Chains A and B, each alone.
Chain A
Amino acid sequence: MSQQVKNRAALRAATRAYRLRLVLARILRYLLLSLGLVIMVFPFYWMISSAFKTAAEMNLFPPSLAPRNWFNLDNFRIAFEKAPFARYFLNSVLVMLGSVTATAFTTILAAFAFSRLRFRGRELLFSLLLSMMMVPFEMLIITNYQTIINIGLNDTLYALILPFISSIFYTYILRNFFQSLPDGLYWSARVDGCTNWKYLWKVMVPIARPSLVTIILLNALASWNSFMWPLLVIKSDLMRTLPFGLYTFTTEVGANYELLMAASSVVVLPMVLLFLFARKQIVRGVARGGIKG
């Protein structure tokens, strides 16, 4: 009898200890994650808060954690006066739209041909393309730079779009999705007299919308943030895109970090907003093989 009671008490104690450990583990987990979160997000907070500080506030040491006036828009005003950021913004938007549209078009058509149409040497051709994927852009850039100069497109926005209109990687992603669609769908549409062209745009593209959105988002991100290529082919002030414009702005204003932070916020904000709205699609796309490399 007493043995039983003892056992029960021991069990209860063990359960309590186990629960306590679970709670502790959970607290620890949240603590660790929050610490990491603070480190990851801090630069963004620092950028935005610095953008609202005055020059005097910037020269405090140790720095103040928040600006005195959160509605101090002077830095943005001065930055926009000193450099044509509105123009940079427009250029970035134009390049992004142009490159996304062109890429989506070539990608959809090519992915369709590689997944649905039959022709000799299809698989061989595709595996050749895949092996071309590992050539880094940094290697192609040398000839492309010369090509762009030779055909006289340097210092135009076309130069920022043209080399990127065909992406093997996006075609690969979309082809995989197209191939996962059942054959029956295709043949029944064909029986009903649907042409390939119509089938592609009326059936396949709507079904593939999630994949397409992912591709478009990744492409938009890459285009918006690209730096090395504009640095090479763009010369004049009015043709710069945001990251490049921001970079040249740093040499103009030197150590006025409040202006730089205001300008950086302008560059970063659109993509942050995009990410907040389309996090799941972007993450899925990245998980599938990457935004990098």
Chain B
Amino acid sequence: MSGHPAPRAPFRPRRAGPRRVLVHIALFFLLGAISLGLGLQGRALLVGHAAQLEGSLLVDTLLEGAAQRLRGALVGEDSPQALARAVDTGISSRKRLLKVEIARQVQEDQPNQDIARMALDTLAQGVLARAGEEDRPALQALYEAQAPVLATGLGEAADQLERGFSLARVRLNLAVGVPNYPLMYYYTPLLALGAFLLLFAAALAYTYWRGDEEKRAAVGQRLEPMDYLLPFFMGVIAFTLFPMVRVVIMSFQERYRLDGSFAGWGLGNYEHVLQGVPGTTNYFLQGLSNTLLYVLFTVPLATALAIVIAYLLNQRLRFSALFQTGYFLPMVTSVTAVGLVWRWIFNRNFGVLNAILGWFGLAPVNWLHAASNSMTVLVIFGVWSSLPFTIILLLSGLQNIDETYYTVARVDGARAPRIFRRITVPLLAPTISLVLIINSISAFKVFTEVKVLFSGYAGPALNMYTMVYYIYDMMYEYRELGRAAAAAIVLFVFILAFTMMQRWIQRRWQYE
């Protein structure tokens, strides 16, 4: 007995201890402080930019406003040409120096009213210096009569500009082109996150302080799943959930552009997408009809071919590894690379496809550069590249069919075609419908194929827009994110319909 090791302690699953709570308090406190700091820095940056922007806007308003008002006061409809020219040159002769002076006074926080008066006076002096000897007294009198009204109006306009200037508007006005102040754009979420983390840390600290050992252990255990989920959810929230919500909002922000500016709220984006520019081709509707045609041709064709091939591959077969490798190869290869290969195959002058047509005495076809052949080319490429995926799904469907059905049928003397028609196809029906839907969904997103086959354009005559191509164009070429978002929502509606069908089929056939 004495040789035995000491008996183990009775079973008590080790719990995520109080230490975990302490670590979390420290961690969340640190993260909260960092994010709060970054948010504050971003806000400070934004305020700085705002002041800068406001200043330059104010200077511009005062300068241009003074010039316009003065000209309006001095030159009427019936004034002689010479006078008008004199006033213009007189104003522009003082502009540059005046701008510097206005900027100085704005920085010194002089009242807008005074700056306006100063600006008008300076410009008027310039005009008087240029005006002819005979015009001068009249102009002087005219100006002196009008000056107080002009200055008041200008000062009020400048005041109004200052009042209407909010941080939110600055953010929208600042160009995106300026790099390295990303924090500025996200200072609100950063501040919120920081505050939340700090509060959370504080709450944890409070329970740790007030609770007993039992309570601490319980809290520690609660925290555990969160640790495991945190990295995952950071990605999901930032790059799936947020974009999902944002794109819906964006689709209602009319002419929302990459730099964050937009014209207003409403259905304008959808209107533009669905109606296009009057008098020109509506590329979205073209894309929609192309996409639908592509789905309609490619998916049934690929599925029908795949059923036959999967059926043949499913039999006892020699070299099955060789066959499988060959048939599945297009699935793993880059669409960009094999798209180029097909471009070479479709080449009009030296392409192998036209050579094969030549064997049968057919004339060479202008595959890639004739608009009428574009869809054929795209469908051929699409069928070829979606076959492997389709075959694999069908093959695994076939392998799930119970062997007994076949044995019984064979015993009853049924022949292969009959077995295929009466047993294989009906039992494969759930898989087939599933494959049709999954393939339709992915065919709806056709983009790279077009981009590569037609050398970076939407077809030889801009006739091959697809829905995603349109989205890409709006987003990347035109920077009209709002319109791209509206188009994406329309695409999503289609995909949603198919997904619902897929869910329904899966539930109906208990298919996993």
Contact = CB atoms under 8 A, between A and B. Distances in A.
B492 interface: yes
Interface string A127-143: 00100101110111111
Q: How large is the interface on A (under 10, 10 to 19, 20 to 34, 35 or more residues)?
A: 35 or more
A165 interface: yes
Interface stretch (A67-75, A78-86, A204-212, A275-283): A275-283
B328 A279 contact: yes
Contacts of B313: 33
Interface in A117-156: 117-119, 122, 129, 132, 134-136, 138-147, 149-152
A247 B488 CA distance: 25
A110 interface: yes
B504 interface: no
Contacts of B326: 37, 40-41
A247 B456 contact: yes
Nearest to A153: B182
Interface in A18-69: 25, 29, 32-33, 36-37, 39-41, 43-44, 46-47, 50, 58-63
Contacts of A195: 14, 16
B124 interface: no
Contacts of B455: 250-251
B341 A46 contact: yes
Interface string A250-270: 110000010011001001100
Dominant secondary structure at the A interface: helix
B331 A291 contact: yes
A29 to B, nearest CB: 5
Given A143-B247, A293-B442, A132 B495 contact: no
Interface in A162-196: 162-166, 168, 171, 190-191, 193, 195-196
Nearest to A130: B503
A227 B459 CA distance: 18
A228 B448 CA distance: 7
A57 to B, nearest CB: 10
Contacts of A168: 236, 240
B76 interface: no
Interface string B424-456: 000000000000001101100101100110011
Contact of A292 (B242, B243, B442, B485): B442
B481 A146 contact: yes
B510 interface: no
B39 to A, nearest CB: 14
A225 interface: yes
12 contacts: A44-B333, A109-B228, A110-B233, A119-B222, A136-B445, A138-B447, A143-B246, A190-B14, A257-B347, A260-B344, A264-B337, A279-B328
Given A142-B243, A151-B185, 4 more contacts: A43-B338, A135-B492, A261-B340, A264-B338
6 nearest A-B residue pairs (beta carbon): A166-B235, A143-B243, A110-B232, A113-B228, A62-B355, A243-B336
